[in-house]
Amino acid sequence: MEIHLKIWRQKNQESKGALKNYTLTEVNPAMSFLEMLDMLNLKLAKKGEQPVEFGHDCREGICGQCGMMINGIAHGPLKNTTTCQLHMRTFKDGDTIYIEPFRAKAFPVIRDLKVDRTGLDAIIAAGGYIAVNTGQAPEANSIPVTHYEAENAFDAAACIGCGACVASCKNASAALFTASKISHFANLPQGKKESAQRTVKMVNRMEELEFGHCTNTEACQVECPQDISVLHIGRMNYEYNKAKLKKKKKL
């Protein structure tokens, strides 16, 4: 396959970036998208040019490091698929592919396609944990959890923190990411005790980091590689309002 690439190149956050043109003439349809970029980088390295910087780690659709915009879509055209699990057979011989970094004020460009997504880590650090006594784990069946609650918790916990929800939202909102972390704990008995404190801290931290507000366009769920439901945002709003009302009553 012959593939024409228009890739965003940017030295750092302060530099002005631009799309650069590249052509690969021997792309195997069985290659993953990242393997195609590896092929390009090998070609550039042999010519003494700077390889294209992009994030990756597991290449198994688990770590969430490979996020990029492909033809204007987070992770590319296939639904519920990460960039590393996207294969070149999805494209046609002679296609032109536009590749850009995730665009969001809270995701500054490090270089080329790689952005700083540590803002998501900061949201988790604000409250995405539970305070428990260490030691031997309790018997699994000693804490009853309904099937409905367990499924909702598992759905929320499937978030890989890739940032596609932020990149696909017109407001660059991290509502789906934050909601998935809050809902994960709120659905389980171990997380209910600190739910109010956790929710307020995480939502406040999200706003401090200048992520945008959710306006319910639901683009985040459409582009989420794990298809995490926007209903978790409703759960986050419920937990947040409940926490605020509880605090107001105490005053």
Please say if the pLDDT value at position 251 is more than 80. no
Cα separation of 69 and 85, whole Å?
14
Question: How large is the average pLDDT for residues 195-212?
Answer: 95
Name, in order, each residue with C-beta under 8 angstroms of 237's C-beta and a sequence gap of 6 or more: none
Question: How large is the average pLDDT for residues 150-177?
Answer: 96
Strands 69-70 and 73-74: antiparallel
Cα separation of 63 and 52, whole Å?
20
Confidence of residue 248 (pLDDT cuts 50, 70, 90): confident
Q: What is the pTM of this model?
A: 0.92
| Residue 118 confidence (pLDDT) | 96
Name, in order, each residue with C-beta under 8 angstroms of 238's C-beta and a sequence gap of 6 or more: none
List C-alpha distances in Å: 185 to 4, 133, 180, 194: 45, 17, 9, 9
What letter represents residue 68's amino acid? M
Cα separation of 221 and 128, whole Å?
21
| Residue 225 confidence (pLDDT) | 96
Q: What tokens appear for 33 in the block?
A: 């998208």
pLDDT in tens, 4-46: 999 999 999 999 999 999 999 999 999 999 999 999 999 999 9
Q: What tokens appear for 29 in the block?
A: 């349809």
Q: What tokens appear for 188 in the block?
A: 């389980």
What letter represents residue 221's amino acid? Q
Distance of alpha carbon 194 from the chain centroid: 25
Residues recorded for the chain: 251
Give the domains, in start order, of the chain with CATH numbers: 3-111 (3.10.20.30), 117-249 (1.10.1060.10)
Does residue 186 contact residue 192 with C-beta atoms inside 8 Å? yes
Cα separation of 242 and 198, whole Å?
12
Question: How large is the average pLDDT for residues 57-86?
Answer: 96
Please say if the pLDDT value at position 103 is more than 80. yes
Cα separation of 70 and 77, whole Å?
7
